Amino acid sequence: MNALRPYLATFSARFQLMLQYRAAALAGFATQCWWGGIKVMIYAAFFGAAGAAAHAPISLSQTITYTWLAQGFLSLNPWTGDPDVAAKVRTGAVGYDRLRPVDAYGWWYVNAAAWMTARAAPRSAMMFALTGIIFPIVGLGAWAWAPPAGVAAALLFSLSMILVVLLSSAIVMLINICVAATLTDRGVNNLVAPVAILLTGNLIPLPLFPDWARTALFIQPFAGVVDIPFRIYFGQLTGTMALAGVGLQVFWILVLGGLGRLWLGRVMDRLQVQGG
């Protein structure tokens, strides 16, 4: 247990620090409401076309729930590296991190996890309060964040969301390492963001992409960040498929985490420290 203490300490310190940015949380929430609102109206228009709904693998109300979940948990998406790591690399403070008697990968990893969860917690709570509780009360039930499909779905969703944090942190770590190796966060952040937006299901829910792409979209690592847990939530992914989804999340956490550890070791061996 003692071996874990420094990691838990840095997690809780970073978590509490990120929670202080209340104005940013409110601004983020407003933006996500606007985006979600537009998306929901667009989906309703597409689904509204006569008979078209029959061709879609998920229903309109599932698509709406998917959209609010995606907006609420947007901060859990691995779009960019951890800005703290980028700042450390830029100023040379990465040298201090090398002197800490902790595992370099684990240290940055828990920081990335804290950075994402602390931003997601208030935003998702506000989003649920608005679209999950207030919407049904004021008679906008058709546009609401619906409750989970059942107890089993809710439990599996909770497990899957924990895996989301672990998987997303592993992807953020790969970006961080790229930042450490190239000494700037600009290049990699610009290239990863579009790929992540497209492949997580944030642009449109992955099941709405053409059917021929379904398997490929399911097994790629980004699906485990948005698509798999949300489809478990509203019961479109059940039984063996749901377990396969969770299994894929675990698989990608191990693969990307292992890859990151190896790569970080190599980068740290020949790390350039800037500054002076």
Partner 1 sequence: MNPLHLLTRYFRASLSAQAQYPGTTVLMTVGAFAVNFIEIFGIAALFSRFGQVRGWSFGEVALFYGLVSISFGISDFLSRGFDVLGTEFIRTGNFDRVLLRPRSLALQLIGYDFRLRTMGRVLQGLLIVAIATQTLHFHWTLAAVGLAAWTVAGGVALFFGLLVLQGTLSFWTVEGLEVANVLTYGGVQAAQFPLSLYAPWFRGFLTFVVPLACVAYFPVVALLGRHDPLGAPDWFLPLSPIFGVIFLAVSFWAWGFGVRRYTSTGS
The structure tokens 């952040």 sit at 189
- Of residues 49, 53, 201, 175, the one with CA closest to residue 115: 175
Q: Give the type of residue at 265.
A: G
**Shortest distance (Å) from residue 230 CB to partner 1:** 16
Site map 45..64 versus partner 1, x via CB under 8 A: xxxxx--x--xx--------
The token pair at 130 is 């608005």
Q: Helix 5-19 and helix 104-127: axis angle, to 10°?
A: 40
* Locus of tokens 């989906």: 43
Burial of 20 (0-12, 13-18, 19+ CB in 10 A): exposed
Q: Taking Cα atoms as reference points, which of 158, 161, 164, 129 lies closest to residue 145?
A: 129
Nearer to partner 1, 205 or 221 (CB): 205
Nearer to partner 1, 28 or 257 (CB): 28
Count other Cβ atoms within 10 Å, centred on residue 79. 19
Least Å from the CB of residue 103 to partner 1? 31
Write the DSSP symbol of residue 221. Answer: G
Should residue 140 be labelled a site residue for partner 1 when binding is judged by CB under 8 A?
A: no
We find the least distance from the C-beta atom of residue 212 to partner 1, in angstroms, to be 10
Give the length of the chain. Answer: 276
Binding mask 157-196 for partner 1 (x = CB under 8 A): ---------------------------x-xx-xxx-xx--
Q: How many residues bind partner 1 (CB under 8 A)?
A: 34
| Half-sphere exposure at residue 218, Cβ-oriented, CA atoms within 13 angstroms | 18
Of residues 55 and 270, the one with the C-beta less far from partner 1: 55
Cβ proximity to partner 1: between 120 and 188 the closer is 188
Q: How far is the CB of 203 from partner 1 (least distance, A)?
A: 4
User: Which DSSP state fits 102?
Assistant: S
For residues 10 and 39, which CB has a smaller minimum distance to partner 1 in the complex?
39
Applying CB under 8 A, among 9, 13, 17, 38 the residue interacting with partner 1 is 38
**Whole-angstrom Cα distance, residue 190 to residue 197?**
12
Residues 200-259 that bind partner 1 (CB under 8 A): 203-204, 208-210
Comparing CB distances to partner 1, the nearer of 41 and 159 is 41
Residue ranges that bind partner 1, judged by CB under 8 A: 24, 27-28, 30-31, 34-35, 37-38, 41-42, 45-49, 52, 55-56, 184, 186-187, 189-191, 193-194, 197-198, 203-204, 208-210
